[in-house]
Amino acid sequence: MRHRTIFDTPIVNTLLRGLSLALLKLGGWKVEGALPPQAAKSVLIAAPHTSNWDLPYTLMLAFALRLRVYWMGKQSIFRAPFGGLMRWLGGIPVNRSQSSNLVASSAQAMRAAEGPMQLIIPPEGTRGRTRHWKTGFYFIAQQAGVPIVLAFVDFGRKVGGLGPLFQPTGDVEADMARIKAFYAPIQGKNADQFDVE
């Protein structure tokens, strides 16, 4: 899973951090939170995921917060001519029809990674309206032995960043209810497409 990304290039990373902070400030956005040392390796929830705008805002927030992120996206966005760029931005192509081994391989990659690695996963699995959250992020974190970070982009308040850490207990139903409760007041760009009930 690990490959060299824009976050591994110090000069470009520094320039893009400055640009990201400037663009966020210009747009009236605030950045909240920081990644604690014990979450250097972690799974970041990306919610709500309701628009194509989520990716640029997520990347700007990642630069602003000095993260080293990887994110999963559907295979089609990695086709030429933009495939190389998407990978350089931290993208990992996912074949949705063959995702059975994705949890185990992602957890193994996280355990084997040298240095910081934050894996961003949108639990909705789609930008469209859905009532059902996929639990892959939960099991990746559990199998890798890393915390879940409740990351968010709130278009209603124009605030993005990192919320609290969440350690999976093994009680998936209760844990998912607690995680969803955190996201209940957060508004996606297309607010009517986000439902945490």
Quick: pLDDT tens for 33-87: 999 999 999 999 988 888 888 889 999 999 999 999 998 777 888 888 988 998 8
pTM for the complete prediction? 0.86
Helix (H) or strand (E) holding 183: helix 172-183
What is the model's pLDDT at position 193?
52
What is the model's pLDDT at position 47?
82
What is the model's pLDDT at position 127?
45
Q: Which residues of the chain have pLDDT under 50?
A: 126-130, 194
What is the model's pLDDT at position 19?
97
Instruction: Tell me if the bond preceding 56 is cis, omega within 30° of 0.
Output: no
Rg of the chain in Å (alpha carbons): 16
Domains of the chain by residue range: 6-193
* 141 closest CA partner among 62, 44, 72, 52: 44
- Within 8 A by CB and 6+ apart from 181, the residues are 196
What is the model's pLDDT at position 82?
87
Give residue for tokens 């009517």.
Answer: 192
Q: Tell me how far apart the alpha carbons of residues 30 and 158 are, in angstroms, rounded to a whole number.
A: 6
DSSP character string of 14-72 = HHHHHHHHHHHHHTT-EEE----GGGSEEEEEEE---STTHHHHHHHHHHHTT--EEEE
What is the model's pLDDT at position 2?
66
